[in-house]
Structure 1
């Protein structure tokens, strides 16, 4: 199963519940281009994430850093880290995504010693997993096995998944990664989420830079530096992009029209909405609406 519409709350925390009926773990095969946005937008979740690229390549951004992950390689994304991904070079990127609750990685008796310190460490937002390293190859092999176990659901497959997950974590930490805990890094992450939270709560209203900065307890200039450093765009450009993202589902509703959608997501001019939408999506809102309606009819047939 693939998640095509990333539902997030007002702080960008993903709302999807990553679990099976029994286990607090989920495994997806994701084709980036099939997401409603054509990419994986910024979001975060409490679960740890393991990625294995099975086709093409993807450009991931985790907090402030970007990394290209190619076919056969993987990625570990730590709990609570903002991340996004795009298909690089139109490669048709497909990846296995394994999301797991930190509490399920190891037993409760081992959690405080071998899991929690790595979750709290501020110097490990992500780790690149290479098949050229023994520990990396072991992790990638276990991700493949877990993916197959989910597909086959043989008797006791839950136990086998738990065993593979234990091997993944052991290989991840046995390299002796030096852990760092920098309070300023934690504060920066909190402030960023506070500003995003405010935007996502108020995107349909008139928004000024002062409002965003105040939400993060920052000056206007420092607010701009945060956004440009982490999201690579200005706060107000992020607002525009978010409004367009919110417009996508509205435009797919049969009764919607472009003008109404423009005002619902916070634009005070239909022409400005069309201009920004075309720049982002490479088509007009009306063309997008027609394209989605046509695709929906094709799927129903």
Structure 2
């Protein structure tokens, strides 16, 4: 299964149903530049995520840190962490994505000892998975096996998936990563999500830096530092990019022209919207509108 129309709610929580089998997991292949945005936009989810790059090279951003992941390598992304992904060097990067509910990893009796400490650690937003390290190779091989099991659906495949998940978690625990718990890091993550939530609620309105900072109970300068650390951009640049993301859906509606879309997503100038859109999407809004109209008209019925 290839997911192209990547959707998130106003809190950046992914809306993809993470249940492609009769278990609380999802495993699918993704080609990054075939997504409707041309990349995987910033989002988070409660599920644990394991990535295996099967072609090309990608740069992932997890809680503000950039990680390059090449073919044959992978990544573990912890529950609740903000992350996004972009193709690197036009490599047509493709990867297997395994999402699994933390509660499904181990039994309730073992959960508090072997799962809770890891999903609550403030220094474990991600782990790189390298095939030249035994524990990393074991995890990557298991992700590939789970993907094959879901595709083939042979007898008792659900039990085989559960065995592989337990094997994955055992190898992650055994790699010896030292866990830390810092209250200030938890507070920073909470404030960042508060500011993003406020933007996603008010993106169509006039937004000032003071408004964003107030939502996170921060000064203007502290607000800018948070965005630079977590997202590598200024708060107002993030607002512009988020407005453009929201415009992509509206531009696919036949009854709305470019000017109407611009004002609906918070731009007070059509020319400025076109300029920012061109910089962000490498095409004009009208070109995008025509392109998506042709795509939708040629799309086969489900």
Report what 1:2 is aligned to: 2
Report what 1:258 is aligned to: 258
- CA distance in structure 2 between the partners assigned to 1:293 and 1:236 by the alignment: 30
TM-fit CA distance, 1:154: 1.2
TM-fit CA distance, 1:21: 5.2
Q: Which secondary structure state, in structure 1, belongs to the residue aligned with residue 20 of structure 2? A: coil
1:4-49 per-residue CA deviation (whole Å, 9 max, x = no partner) reads: 2222222211122211352110001000011111000110000000
Report what 2:30 is aligned to: 30
Pairs within 5 Å for 1:1-301: 1-20=1-20, 22-300=22-300
TM-fit CA distance, 1:176: 1.6
Please, what TM-score do these two structures have when normalized by structure 1?
Answer: 0.98
Stretch moving more, 246-255 or 96-105: 246-255
Stretch moving more, 21-30 or 231-240: 21-30
- Whether the 8 Å CA contact 2:21–2:150 is kept in 1: the answer is no
Gaps of 5+ in 1: none
- CA distance in structure 2 between the partners assigned to 1:190 and 1:277 by the alignment: 30
Stretch moving more, 172-181 or 192-201: 172-181
TM-fit CA distance, 1:155: 1.6
- CA distance in structure 1 between the partners assigned to 2:21 and 2:55 by the alignment: 29
Q: Which secondary structure state, in structure 2, belongs to the residue aligned with residue 286 of structure 1? A: helix
1:144-198 per-residue CA deviation (whole Å, 9 max, x = no partner) reads: 1000011011121111100000000001110221110001111010000000000
- CA distance in structure 2 between the partners assigned to 1:3 and 1:264 by the alignment: 27
- CA distance in structure 1 between the partners assigned to 2:291 and 2:92 by the alignment: 20
- CA distance in structure 1 between the partners assigned to 2:2 and 2:26 by the alignment: 11
TM-fit CA distance, 1:232: 0.9
- Whether the 8 Å CA contact 2:20–2:27 is kept in 1: the answer is no
- CA distance in structure 1 between the partners assigned to 2:59 and 2:21 by the alignment: 32
Gaps of 5+ in 2: none
- CA distance in structure 2 between the partners assigned to 1:20 and 1:89 by the alignment: 31
1:87-128 per-residue CA deviation (whole Å, 9 max, x = no partner) reads: 000000000000000000011111000011000001110000
Stretch moving more, 108-117 or 252-261: 252-261
- How many residues in Structure 1 have an aligned counterpart in Structure 2? 301
- CA distance in structure 2 between the partners assigned to 1:179 and 1:227 by the alignment: 25
Q: Which secondary structure state, in structure 1, belongs to the residue aligned with residue 298 of structure 2? A: helix
- CA distance in structure 2 between the partners assigned to 1:129 and 1:175 by the alignment: 11
